[in-house]
Every structure is written in C-alpha cells, then in structure tokens.
Amino acid sequence: MSVIGSEIKHADAFKLNDESSRAILRLFGEKATQVKLGGGTDAISKHHKRNKLTARERIEKLIDAKSKFLEIGIFTAYGMYEEYGGAPSAGVVCGIGTVSGRDVVIVANDATVKAGAWFPISCKKNLRAQEISIENRLPIIYLVDSAGVFLPLQSEIFPDKEHFGRIFRNNAVMSAMGITQIAAIMGPCVAGGAYLPIMSDEAMIVDKTGSVFLAGSHLVKAAIGEEIDNESLGGATVHCEISGVTDHKMKNDDECLMKIRSIIGKLGHAPQAIFDRAKPSAPKFEPKEIYGILPAERTKPYDTYQVLARILDSSELDEYKAGYGKSIITGYARVDGWAIGVVANQRAIVKTAKGEMQVGGVIYSDSADKATRFIMNCNQKKIPLVFFQDVTGFMVGSRAEQGGIIKDGAKMVNAVANSIVPKFTFIVGNSYGAGNYAMCGKAYDPRLIFAWHTAQIAVMGGKQASETLLAIKVQAMEKGGTHISAEQQQSLLNEVQARYEQELDPVYAASRLWVDDVIDPLDTRRIISRGIAMAANNPHTPQFNPGVIQV
C-alpha cells in the first residue's frame, strides 16, 4: 500500500483555518454541554430528591467502566419546540454502549425534560435506535421514565406509519428476530407507552418510583369513578406480586442497573461476521492538522488526500484507478486495523489525462463510473465502505449531458442503494443535491452517519439557492405590479440568505436526525472502528448472501 505524502506547510492560511475550526468546535461543545443538562439544574435537583438518577447518570452506571458511550442524536430537537420551552435531545438519550463486554443499544427517557414526554422527533429518535439494533442485531435496553405522548402535538405522533405505534410494532418484530430487549421501568410508564416495556423480553420495575398502567389514577376516577393512588394501581408490588406483568422488583436505580448488567452478561453468543482486521496503527501524520487543512472559506479547494492521511492507519491507501475519475478518490485502507473501502470526494482542482481541469467536489461521469465499479468490488470482497462527503453535485452543462452524466450518476446511485456491506458516512463539507445520494446520504441506509463541524446539507449551495429564490420572489412581485428597486432586491437577498444559511448549519441537520451527530473530526477513527465492530454482530446481514448488484 502507498503512504500518502504530506504537503502541509504551516503558513498563515493553515493557521487561520486551524483557529476557525477550533472556534466552531468550541461553540458546538458549549451547545452540547448545555443540552446535556436536559431540563436544567433545578429539574435535575428535583429528580435527585425523588431518589432517581438522571438518564445520563443511569447510562454511565450501566455501561462498563472506562468504556465510551457513542451517543446518537445529542442535538435532536435543538431549536425546535421553542413555543413549548424546548426539548433538549428530544427528551430521550440514545446510543451504543458496552455492557458486560457486549455492544448494546440504550434508550433512556430524560424525565427532567417535560417528564420524559414524547415529542414527534422523540419518536423518530427511538425508531432510529431500534433501526440500529435491528441492522446490527444488537440487544437493546430501554430505561423507561416517561409521562407518555406530549398531548399538544398528539396528532403529529400518534396514528401514522412512522409514528408512536411503529415502536411497539418493532418490539414484536425484534423479538421474533431473536434480538434481546430488556426494559427497566424507572419512573412513570403510562397509556400506550406501557406497551414498550411489557412487549420487551424481560421487564423490571423500581419499587416506589416505577409505575405502569394504561390509565393513571386521575383518568381512572374520571372514567369509572374509582379512587386509587398510582402506586396501588400500577406500582412494583402490584405488577411483580399480583398481576405478573413485570419480572423483577428492584429496590432502587442502582440495583436495577446491576440486574440488567447481570442479564446481558449471560446472553449467548451468535456467530460474528468476519471483516478483516489487522494490528491497528496510527496515522503517520498528526490528526489535529485536519483543523488547518479544512478551509475557513468553504469555497476554497483543498487536497482530500491530506485529510485521509490523518485518518487512515499508517496513512496508507491502496488506491483504485488512481489516474482515472480524479474528482472521487477510491481505494482500500485500514482504520484501527479494520479493512475498509474509501470513497471520498476530492476537493482539489485536478487535471485529467486529457489535460482538462475538473472542479473539486463535483462528480463527473468518469468519477461516477469509477466509484460504481469500486463499490461493487467492495461488496464482492466483503469490505465495509466509508464515504467522505464534500460534494456540490454532479457536473452540469451540455457537454456533461451529452456525455451521459445522468446515466453514470444513476449507476452510482444504484450501486450505493444496492450495496450489501455495512456503509458509514461522514459529511466533511458540502452535501448538496444528488451528490448527497450518490455519496450515501441518510436515505441510503448508512449504518452510521455523522457530520463534521464544517458540514452543510441542502439541495444546493447557499449562494445559488438564495439567488434562485430571490429571482422567483422578484418575478412574482413584479408580475403583481410591484416594482422592486436594486436596494430592495439586496435587502430581500440578505433576508433569504440568512434563512437559508441557518438551514445549512450542521446542528440544524442533527436536530432533525438527518445525521446521527455533529462530531470533532478527531473522533472519526473511533466511530469507524466502533461501527464495524458493531456491524460484525449481525451474521445474517445480506452481505453474506449471494446476490448481484444490478447497475
């Protein structure tokens, strides 16, 4: 394998880029710290006074010591539901943790946020956690502490296919698939939400704090006139000693979490998928230099090889078709010892064998053809794929159209859609239009998808979109007889640009679960390694069944 050479010169531009990256990451870190407080310090204090741990404290005690929790969706709902006081992390903490040496998916209601009530995006987040469990055949643990559906938004969460009921449908399907589901009722568990723990394979309940019933005491009185308190109606003693609804009565949160660890530690082991892994090695170049490589002015080109050199083991890349289709880099490499196939947009302006210049970040016909063939090769060789997106879209214009760009692009999208090895996506910079699809965006089922701090996701770039939207608006106003001066047009353009730029922010994407999280580039190696190890838990995935990708 070839070592990628480093051409980094610590000039003024590098230092400016480095400072910009670090400033943005500090800002994201501050936002994440605030989000982790959930409903705030007062709500946490009240929670503790009830002898209850918070969702994050429960997860920390549940996972193995010194292991790291890979959180999914920390910024979910960020900036949303402000009229209701907000919903940090959508009131539920999700991710992949190691429990008794096993990778598991954990879903923990945060009762400091609206008593753990479910917002529409909370449902989407829970479904994402179940999707990860299903795709990778990971056991899933539900730490339940929720007042149920957030009633002011019930119409957006209750009846549709991807709404609340889908969670319970998944409970049933996952059990049939042999995926272990363990639930701990550590607070209220009300109405339809009561089905989630009881449809799990094993359920425990914490005495005096946990309760489960289809209707609480107030509703029971209103419905049938019976007067009863919640503990007598659906507490731990009732369901462990009388109804038999739950399996284990726990005296407190700590004992409950230890019980879960004990159960997980005794699970049988299924055969694992064999992805090749060698002895890990660090990149030859300092990973922190990525901060200085990524340009503060996102329109400026940069050499993607230099980014890869700070991610790949020993900075080595066994490149595929190196001299052809240069606007996409393809090749075999290793990360933390795992063999991977790299598909990365080249952001540098490159020269083809014909002497033509190709703009960085654009997918040309030859690049699409190369990437398609490489993706098929990785599927044949059972090598997981890792996509690094910084793409403005496919090449346009008469020459590109006559050259069959639509056909070549469709082949690449087809190959990505039908790929049967695990896929992982990192949005490094731009992720525009059909380029998002071809480079394995969220719609193409990557096992994990993360955005770097420099990411932007949209149908097109901010400048092009703003000018297009302005032209449409001006045309409509002038058609109605309103003349728009140059000053008014500039004011409208500024207004449109401000709104569009807000929607390009990676946290905007993360808040809506278009990506699993916004990360520091230095976490990329750890996430790839964790992701492949997680994917190896599923021996029944299609990658080990015969099949041909049709392109």
Q: What is the pLDDT of residue 539?
A: 61
Inform me whether the pLDDT recorded for 551 exceeds 70. no
pTM of the model: 0.93
More confident site: 360 or 227: 227
Residue pair 357/314 in contact by the 8 Å Cβ criterion: no
Cα–chain-centroid distance for residue 393? 22
Mean pLDDT of the chain: 91
544 confidence band (pLDDT: 50, 70, 90): very low
* Adjacent-strand bridge partners of 2: 317
The three-state secondary structure class of 186 is: strand
- pLDDT (tens digit per residue) in 379-417: 999 999 999 999 999 988 888 888 889 999 999 999 999
Eight-state DSSP code of residue 5: P
Cα–Cα dist 335/316, whole Å: 10
**Closest alpha carbon to 73 in 54, 92, 57, 87:** 92
> What's the average model confidence in pLDDT over 363-369?
96
Q: What percent of the chain has pLDDT over 90?
A: 73
Cα–Cα dist 147/117, whole Å: 5
541 confidence band (pLDDT: 50, 70, 90): low
Number of residues that make up the chain? 551
**Single-letter residue type at 413:** V
Eight-state DSSP code of residue 191: G
- pLDDT (tens digit per residue) in 237-285: 999 999 999 999 999 999 999 999 999 999 998 888 889 999 999 999 9
Residues in Cβ contact with 300 at an 8 Å cutoff, skipping those fewer than 6 apart:
none
Cα–Cα dist 327/341, whole Å: 16
Inform me whether the pLDDT recorded for 73 exceeds 90. yes
End-to-end CA distance of the chain: 29
Eight-state DSSP code of residue 520: -
More confident site: 176 or 487: 176
* Adjacent-strand bridge partners of 332: 318, 341
Inform me whether the pLDDT recorded for 71 exceeds 70. yes
Inform me whether the pLDDT recorded for 350 exceeds 90. no
Q: What is the pLDDT of residue 1?
A: 66
Eight-state DSSP code of residue 414: H
Residues in Cβ contact with 87 at an 8 Å cutoff, skipping those fewer than 6 apart:
77, 80, 81, 113, 114, 119, 121, 122
Token pair in block for residue 216: 């609480």
3-state helix, strand, coil in the chain (%, to 5): 45, 20, 35
Q: Looking up tokens 């910084």, which residue turns up?
A: 390
> What's the average model confidence in pLDDT over 467-489?
77
